[in-house]
Amino acid sequence: MNQEIFERVQKVIVEQLGVDENAVVPEASFTDDFNADSLDLVELVMAFEQEFDVSISEEEAERVRTVADAVRMLTEKVQAGE
């Protein structure tokens, strides 16, 4: 897992969902562990797009369930040079 991307993802999640930084571990689930509702998830994806300057489709967003999923997807996008 790319540590730099993980830390940026962590920062966005802490800011958007108001959770403790220590709770943002790779296996944590947005809905089950962070209590995020559908509107939270839309806003979170928008915040990822802004932070990493990438675009994320609805299908891609739906596949992101955990912190590790987000880091993996964003790492691929950043490396693909989007």
Partner 1 sequence: MRRRVVITGLGLVTPLGQGKDALWEGLTLPRRVVGPITRFDATGYSTRIAAEVKDFDPTQFMERKDARRAARFIQFAIGATHLALQDAQLAITDANREQVGVLIGSGIGGIDYMDTQVRLLDRHGPDRVSPFLPAMMISDMASGMVSIHFGIKGPNLCAVTACSTGADAIGLATRLIQYGDAEVMLAGGSEAAIEPIGIAGFCAARAMSTRNDDPEHASRPFDAERDGFVMGEGAGVLVLESLEHAQARGARIYAEVLGYGMTADAYHITQPDPEGDGALRAMRKAIHDAGLQPTDIDYINAHGTSTRYNDAKETLAIKRLLGEDAYRVPVSSTKSVTGHLLGAAGAVEAAICVLALQHQTVPPTINYEHHDPECDLDYVPNTARPATLRYVMTNSFGFGGHNSVLVLGQV
Catalytic residues: 37
Select 18 or 76, whichever has its Cβ closest to partner 1.
18
Distance CA 40, CA 80 (A): 27
Select 1 or 46, whichever has its Cβ closest to partner 1.
46
Q: Which residue has the tokens 């540590």?
A: 3
Residue type, 11: K
Using CB under 8 A, count the residues that bind partner 1: 12
Distance CA 78, CA 74 (A): 6
Q: How far is the CB of 27 from partner 1 (least distance, A)?
A: 21
Distance CA 78, CA 80 (A): 5
Stretch 17-56: interaction string toward partner 1, x if CB under 8 A: xxx-------------------xx-xx--x--xx----x-
